[in-house]
Structures are given as C-alpha cells and as structure tokens.
Structure 1
Amino acid sequence: MAKRREAHDEELPFVALMDTMTNVVGVLIIVLVMIGISLAQAVRKVLSDLPPVTKEQLEELKKVVVKDTPKEDPKKLEEEMKETQQALKKASEELKTMDLSMDKSSPKHMDLDELRKQLEERKKVRDTSKEEVDKLLAEVDKLKKAIDSTPRYVPPPATVVKLPNPREIPENATVQRFIVTGGKVYYLNDIEFMKYVVQEIEKNQKSLVFGEVPVKDTFGNPVMEKVRGKDVPKMKTVFDQKKIVQHFVNLRLPVRDLKMELVEAPNAPRMPMRLTPNPQGGEGIEQFKNPASTYQRAVRKFKSEPNTVMWFYVFKDSVEAFLAARDYADTEGVPVVWELYGNPFYQRNVAEFEVNFTPPKPQPPPPPGTVKIAAPKMTAD
C-alpha cells in the first residue's frame, strides 16, 4: 500500500487567499442587496410624494418635451462643436501672444520727476533752437531784401590793351613825369619846379643858412685841407630845414594843378621837394583829347626834343585814363615808361644844397657771402 504524501507548507497561502476572496464576495453581495433595498425605498418615496397628474397634464408635458428637443442633426452639432473648440483654442493662443506683446511694449516704470526734468530740458533746447532758426530766417529775409535792392552789375565795356614792347631808354634821356590819379592826368613838370626851388634858396641863402660844419669822408672822419700852411678841417655851408620849409610856406604859391612844398627829412642831408595833385586840377580823358589841352601841347613839345621820355605814375583807379594818354603819346612817337603807384604825391630831393640833419644809426654790415642783386634797368614800354 502506497504511502500518503505529507502536506507541504507551500499550499497554506492559497487556501487563505480563497477564504479571503469568499469573504469579500459575500460582503459585496450584502452591500448590493442593501443598495437595492435603499433604491426601492427611495423610488417608493418619490412616487408617493409626486402629485397626481391628469391625462391632460401628461399630454401637455409631452408637447413641451417634444418642443424643447433639438431638431438639428447630431453629427452636424458635433462638427460645429469641434469648430467652436478650435476657434476657442486659436483665440486663446492669440490672447497669449497679445499679452506677451503688451508686456514687451509696455513702458518701463520711470520716475515721474525724472520725466518732468527731461521734458523741461527738451523744452529749453526747443526754445533755443527756435530762437536760432528765427534769427536765421530774419537774416535770410534781410539778405533777400538786400539782393532785391542791389542793382544788377553791368560790366564796363572791354578795354583794349596793347602788348608791351620794351625798349632801352636813351642815354642822358630827359624824363618828363606825369601822375594819373582820380581819372585825370597831371603834368608834374618837376624839372621847372626844381629850378625854381634852387633859385629861391640861392636868392635867400643868408636868411636860410644854418651854419658851417666840417666835411667828413665815407668813414665819418673829417676831411683836412691846408690853409696858410696849416692843416685845418674843411668846412661846408648847410641850410636850416625848418627855415626853408617856412620860407616856401610864406611864399603862398598859386595852386592850380599841383601843390609844391618842401618837407623836412630829419635823418637825411638832402631835403625833398614834394608835388601833390590838386583834386580840382588835372585833365580827364575828354579834356586831354582836346588839341589845345595842356597834355597834348606838352606831348607835341616833347616830340620836338630828342631823348625825351614820358614817365607815368599810374594809380589803380586810373588805368583807363593812362591808356588813353598813352595812345596819344604813341601816335606822336614819344617813348613811354609807366609804373603802378600808391603814394598820393611825388617827391625828389634837392641835390644842390645840404641841410642840417641827425645821422641815423649805422646799420650792421651784411654777413659775408651776401649776394647783392642789382635793380632791373628801366625800359620804355
């Protein structure tokens, strides 16, 4: 006879599990029964609490239910619901985007006082700019009025100028000088004026003499001479500059075209004679074109004298008058020399007499190797 197998310990948990499940099922059945009893009691109570309904009221309620029942197709309603949900989702996304944009574009919080300060500063800048613009506009208006009132410039007619034809001045030439200023030609006639000055000084030399002074050589040493067997300094007579000036002032020479006077030269041994044009004198272009004019009579006289050269000192305002005067001299064949001039007078030294003077301080000798450039030779044009 076979042996009975002994029970193993592994079978005990399974039996316990079956017992537990049976207990749970039993409890659930009891709960379901209790729920059913509770529902039956609740239904009975609801039905007992309802008021009695007549047949007419029931029919009326059915009509209301039928009336409130939607007539649309359920599929169509479902599609519309989906579209509504999509639109709602899209609107939500747009709203989020707008919120972000508003956050970005919203101005940062700033101090109100700082804003007011900036506003005041910008107002000041604006007012300053406005004042400057107003000034500029006023200046523009002023310039426009000036332009409108300015007469249109009409250039003068063209002037024909001959090309120069340089020629050497003849040796021992007699130079007759003219000044052209203010559109007029003045004959200086300085040769005759100088003769008159020399004669007047010689005639009145006793009252004009300053005294006798020793003659000195180029090095400043006195020149010696023998007198009665003795070496004595050689003396020379000098004239007083102030006396000479006053003498010619007292003469009161008649003034026509030129004013003649002698002026002091405190640091020179020779005194200059000065000729100054008189604005009421001289001859304009129309005047000296007349054959009887002083200018034409002088040119005809110079033509008859050999080696005579006419020298013109021309002011920049009288080039046209000089060109007209030169044309006539050219037709007569008298050589002409001219130069631009700026002094309001002409003067030359009285070489025949020495006057008292204070020698200027000696200039230092030029450094060794200094190149001296000779003045250019004057030529007739």
Structure 2
Amino acid sequence: MAKRRGVEEEEGLDSLLDTMFNVVGILIIVLVVVQLGMQESVKQIANSMQIDPLALEKLIKDLEEAQKDKLKVEKELKDLNPDEQDLEMLIQRLQSESVAKEAILKSQQGELQKAIIAQKDALEMAKKADENKEKREKLSSELNSALEEIAKLEATLDDTPERAQLAAKVVTLPDPRPAPDGIKEAAFLLTGNQVYPIVDEPARASARKRAEYQAERGVRKYIKDPKEGIDAEKFVEDFNERPMSDDWFRMEMYAAGRDPRLRFTPKEDAGFKIDEVTSPRSRFRRLLSTVDPSKFYFKFIVMPDSYEAYVETRHVTDEMGYLAGWTPVDANWQYTTWVGGKVKFGPEPPPPDPNAPKPAPKPAGPKPNVLD
C-alpha cells in the first residue's frame, strides 16, 4: 500500500513539473513574438520615408508596454523556475504530508474497527441482558413462591402446640474388651427399629438334615457326571422351593464355592418393637430371662435405621446384668451362616501332596474385643 502511494506521489510531482515548464515555455514564446514584432516595427519605420509623429509616439508607447511585459514575464519566469533546493524541499514537504495523511487514515481505520467491535459487544451484552432478565424474573417468581411457603409453614408452626420435652437418655461410653473365657455369643439383629433374635443353630441343623436327605434321594438328578459332583444351581433351586423359617426370619440356601450357606431375611414387623423392649412385663424381657448371663453375652448387629432401638435395648440388658457389645453395619448387610454336613457342590479338589512340607502353626492371636 505504501509503495503504491509513493508511485502516485511521484506521478503527481511529474504532472506539476510538466505544468510549470509548459507555462514557462508559453511565456518565452510570447516574449519572442513581442520582440520580433518590435523589430519589425522599427524596420518599417526606418524604411519609411515619412515619419508620422503620432505613429512614432504610439510606437514608443508600445515599446514601453512591451518592455514592461518583458520585465513582468521575466519575473514570472523567475518565480516559476525554482532552484533544485526549493524543489527538493517541496518534494519532502509533499512526502511528509502524504505520510501524515496515511497515518491519519490508519488511525481512522483503527477507530472504525474499534467502533465495530464495540457495537458487536454492545449487541452481545444486550442479548445477555435479555437472557438475564428472564432468569431474574424466573428466580424472582421462585423466591416469591418460597417466601409464601415459608410464611405458610411459619403460620402452621405458630398454630402447632409445643411438644413435651423428652427425658434425657443416658448412654455409657464404650469400653472395648474381650469376652470372658468359656462364654458364648447370642446375636440380635436390629433393623427397622426392631430387635430380631438370631437363633441359627436349630436352623443349621434342620438345613443340614434336609440337604443330606435331598442329596441322597436325588443322586441321579443332581450328579450327571461323578467327576463334576452335585449341580449346585439345581440343588439350591429345589431346596428353596420349601423355604425355611422361624418366628423372626425366613432362610434361603445359596452356594458359596462348594459349601451350602443360609441367608436370613427378617420378617416384616416380626421383631420386638421399642415399647415391647422397655416394658417390664414384655415378651422380650421374658426371652432374656431364659439366657444364663454367666454362659452367654449379647452381640447386637445394628442397621443404620435402628440406633434408637439399640440404645433402649442396651439399657434393658445392662439393667438385667448381661455383658454386651455391638457392631454397626450398612443398610445392605444380611446375616448368613454355614450349613455344614456332608453335602458339597462341584468336583472334588485334588488330594493334598503328602510330601509337601506342613506349614508352621500360627501363634494364637489376642482375643477380639467383643464387649463394650
């Protein structure tokens, strides 16, 4: 862009110089013509035999006028014929003016671009302002609805009579320690704020007896290949057609590797509720009175929804002189136990290597802390 402008400026200067020299040439031609005219007039006078005074006076005046014109033309020629220094200064001035105009043009272009960007930003901000306006109106509506709901709840709270303050509950701090030697565990599951006694030994014995009888009667059904052993899936499916149960749980069999196990599921509303636990003449207290505190301690397995029932139950057992401990579990936990007996699923494992070194007996570890 700058190169093109330089060329245009040089062409402009050439045009200016051409014009100046054309004017000078015309003036020179005029001067020559005037001089030639004067010489011709003098010759005519000299050759004329008769001299007219008026004509002579007129010729003198014309000569003076021609002389004045000559001086004027010479002055104009001098003014129009600048020297090289003046011409260089003129070119520099014109170039400076061209650079200044180019800078002004670039500045104007920059200002125009800034104005276009500012206009786009303004349009974008206006669009966002419209969107924010809709959001503000929506939030304002939701806020008004929330305030109305709060006002309704406050009015309801004002109309609600005050509840009597419950008595403080005393909870002892845990003191983890092992159970005394020779004492056994009696487990309780606490779920749904109810207490379920876990009496698993009779259930295991009954399941063991049924499983051995089923395996003996169904050898051909469950053992297609003696090397593969009992088909666990078919055996468990047939066993659970008649689910086992007691007063508090339903039991189902499942396979854990080669061994059958029982899964205990609490019956709905079959456990001891809090009011039964705390009542002095409840079934729960009568059940506890059948347990010898010198032979058994209580283990409470507590689900997340049953801490209140656990606190009340511990008050009762502590009052009756029983040792106890507790284990918190998550909401998906289920109580399971081994069946035992002769029934095994799948193929027999390879016999142990009689030449393999026997592992060293592990030292007896510390007794677990089951009481608190």
| Range into which the TM-score falls when normalised by the shorter chain | 0.5 to 0.7
Q: Cα deviations across residues 301-328 of structure 1 (Å, max 9, x unaligned)?
A: 1136x32121111012111101111111
Larger of the two Rg values belongs to structure: 1
* Root mean square deviation, CA, Å: 3.9
Q: Percent identity among equivalent residues?
A: 24
Which residue in 2 is equivalent to 1:317?
Answer: 305
Matched, 1:178 2:188: yes
1:139 to 130, 139, 142: 142
TM-score (norm 1): 0.51
TM-score (norm 2): 0.52
Shift of 1:287: 1.8
Q: Cα deviations across residues 183-213 of structure 1 (Å, max 9, x unaligned)?
A: 1001111122112212222344412555597
Higher fraction of helix: 2
- Other structure's SS at 1:251 match: coil
Shift of 1:259: 0.9
Which residue in 2 is equivalent to 1:102?
Answer: none
The one-letter code matched in structure 2 to 1:331 is: E
Q: 1:180-219 maps to which residues of 2 (within 5 A)?
A: 180-208=190-218, 210=222
Which residue in 1 is equivalent to 2:329?
Answer: 341
Which residue in 2 is equivalent to 1:328?
Answer: 316
Shift of 1:182: 0.6
The one-letter code matched in structure 2 to 1:176 is: A
Shift of 1:119: 6.7
- Other structure's SS at 2:297 match: strand
- Other structure's SS at 2:272 match: coil
Assess if the C-alpha contact under 8 Å between 1:208 and 1:243 holds in 2.
Answer: no
Assess if the C-alpha contact under 8 Å between 1:166 and 1:380 holds in 2.
Answer: yes
Which residue in 2 is equivalent to 1:279?
Answer: 268
Shift of 1:144: 2.7
Which residue in 1 is equivalent to 2:370?
Answer: 379
Question: Would the alpha carbon gap of residues 254 and 119 (structure 1) be closer, same or farther in structure 2, given more than 3 Å must change?
Answer: closer
Assess if the C-alpha contact under 8 Å between 2:303 and 2:328 holds in 1.
Answer: yes
The one-letter code matched in structure 2 to 1:339 is: T
Matched, 1:161 2:161: no
Shift of 1:156: 7.7
- Other structure's SS at 1:321 match: helix
Assess if the C-alpha contact under 8 Å between 1:270 and 1:353 holds in 2.
Answer: no
Which residue in 1 is equivalent to 2:345?
Answer: 356
Give, in whole Å, the separation in 2 of the partners of 1:150 and 1:344.
38
Unaligned runs of 5+ in 2: 1-110, 350-364
Q: Cα deviations across residues 97-122 of structure 1 (Å, max 9, x unaligned)?
A: xxxxxxxxxxxx999x9798787555
Assess if the C-alpha contact under 8 Å between 1:303 and 1:333 holds in 2.
Answer: no
Give, in whole Å, the separation in 1 of the partners of 2:129 and 2:348.
71
Assess if the C-alpha contact under 8 Å between 2:178 and 2:371 holds in 1.
Answer: yes
Q: Cα deviations across residues 11-41 of structure 1 (Å, max 9, x unaligned)?
A: xxxxxxxxxxxxxxxxxxxxxxxxxxxxxxx
- Other structure's SS at 1:302 match: coil
Assess if the C-alpha contact under 8 Å between 1:201 and 1:208 holds in 2.
Answer: no
